[in-house]
Amino acid sequence: MAKPVLGDRSLFPDLTCVAYLAHAAIAPLSAPVRHRIAEVSASYARGGMSGFGEWAPRLQQVRKDIAGLIGASPREIAFVSNTTHGVIDVAFGLRWRKGDRVLLFEGEFPANVTPWQQAAKEFALELCWHSLEPFHRSADEGLAELERALDRGLRIVAVSAVQYKTGLRMPLPEMAALCRRYEAELFVDAIQALGATPIDVSCGIDYLSSGSHKHLMGPEGAGFLYVAERCASSCQPRLAGWLSHQDAIEFLIRDEPTLRYDNPLKTGAQVFEIGTTNVIGIAALGASVEALHGLGIGAIHAHANAYLDALEHGLVERRFASHRSRASTARSTLLSVTSPDGVPPTRLSAELGKRGVVCNTPDGLVRFSPHWPNHLNEVPRVLDAVDEALAEIVGRA
C-alpha cells in the first residue's frame, strides 16, 4: 500500500468532495485504516475467539505508538472509548477532599465540563470558572490570570489543548509549569490537537484524554487516557471493572481454578481499562497513528497552516472575520470565521457542501480544518465555492 504524502489524498480513493475541511469534526477513513478494520474483522470471522487471541496482543504496539506520539511511557496509556470517557475516569477517579477547587474555562467543549460538574455535585467540590478571553489576547495575559487563580488555591485545572470553537492553541507547557509551582494538577482534553498539533506530556501534563475520530483520523468509539505515573497515588478508581484487577484473566487461562474477587487493583492508567476493549477500533487507530508518525506531527501542523494562511487571506478579503490567533505559537490547524452580515453559518455550510466543500459550524461560526491529505491547490476552488454560495444566499435573501 502507498505511503502517506503531505498534500496527496490518494489514500482516500472514495472521498468525493472537492475539499474535506472538517477534520475537527469527524475525519474520513484512509485506505490503511479501512484495510486494518477489514483485517481484524476477517480474523474474527474466521475464528471468533481466535481473532481476539490474534489481535489483542497486537494492541500493545498501538499502545507504544500512542505513547510515542505524546512523549509518554506505554504503561501510562489506557484504552478508553472516547474523550469523555477519559474525562469521567479522572473526574470520578481522584482522591478528592471536600471543597477541592476545579478550574474550568467558559467556552470549553462540554466534554471537558459536564464530568467535572457531576463530580463537583458528588464530592462537594468548588468549580471556578474563568474566561478564555485573556488567552485570546495574549498567552502572557492568560497565564497571569491563571496564576492569580492558582494563588487562591486549586486542585486541578481542566483545559482543552485546542479550543474547538476558535482553534486557539493553549500554552500547555507554561500552564503545566504554573500548576506544578502551585501544587495543582493539569488535565488536558486533547482531541482537537492530537494528530495535527504537537503535544508533549513531558512538559508536566498530569492527565490527558483523546478520542481518535478527529485529527488522529481513526474511527469513532476508540481513544485513550494518559495518566502520569507520578499521579498514580492520586487515583481512587471508583468506576473500576473486572479488568482493573491485577492478573485479571488468570482464572480463564489456568488449568486449576483460580477465580477470586480480592485481587488488588492495578495502579496507574491501566486501572481504567475496566472491560472488553474495542479491538477493531483501537487496531484501526493504530494504522492511522503509524501514518502520522511517518509524516511527523510538526510537518503536518506546518502543512495545514500553510493551507490556512492562503484560505484565511481569501476569506478576509470577502469580509469574513477570522478568529485565528495572530500569534503563530497559538495556532492549531483550525480556522474559524464569522460570516459576513446576514449570512447564516449553517446555510453557508450547506451551500458549500453542495459545491463539494465540507466544513462545519460550531456555535455560530464557520470552521475549516484541513489535514495532511489536503493540497494547497484546493484553496482557489474553495474560495470559488464561497463566492458561489454567497451569491446564492444573498440572491435569495
What CATH class is the domain 19-29+296-396?
A: alpha beta
For the domain spanning 33-292, the CATH number is 3.40.640.10
- DSSP track, 181-248: HTT-EEEEE-TTTTTTS---GGGT--EEEEESSSTT---TT-EEEEE-GGGGGGB--TT--GGGBTTT
Burial of 289: CB neighbours in 10 Å, binned 0-12, 13-18, 19+: buried
Q: Which amino acid is at 187?
A: F
Specify the pLDDT at position 183.
97
| Distance between CA atoms of residues 303 and 346, nearest Å | 27
Specify the pLDDT at position 163.
98
Specify the pLDDT at position 249.
85
Residues, the chain: 397
Specify the pLDDT at position 397.
58
Residues of the chain with CATH 3.40.640.10: 33-292
The sign of the dihedral angle between the CA atoms of 72, 75, 81, 86 is: negative
Residues of the chain with CATH 3.90.1150.10: 19-29+296-396
Mean pLDDT, 10 residues at a time, the chain of 397 residues: 92 97 98 97 95 92 97 97 97 97 97 98 98 97 98 98 98 98 98 98 98 98 97 90 90 88 91 93 97 97 98 97 97 97 94 98 97 98 98 82
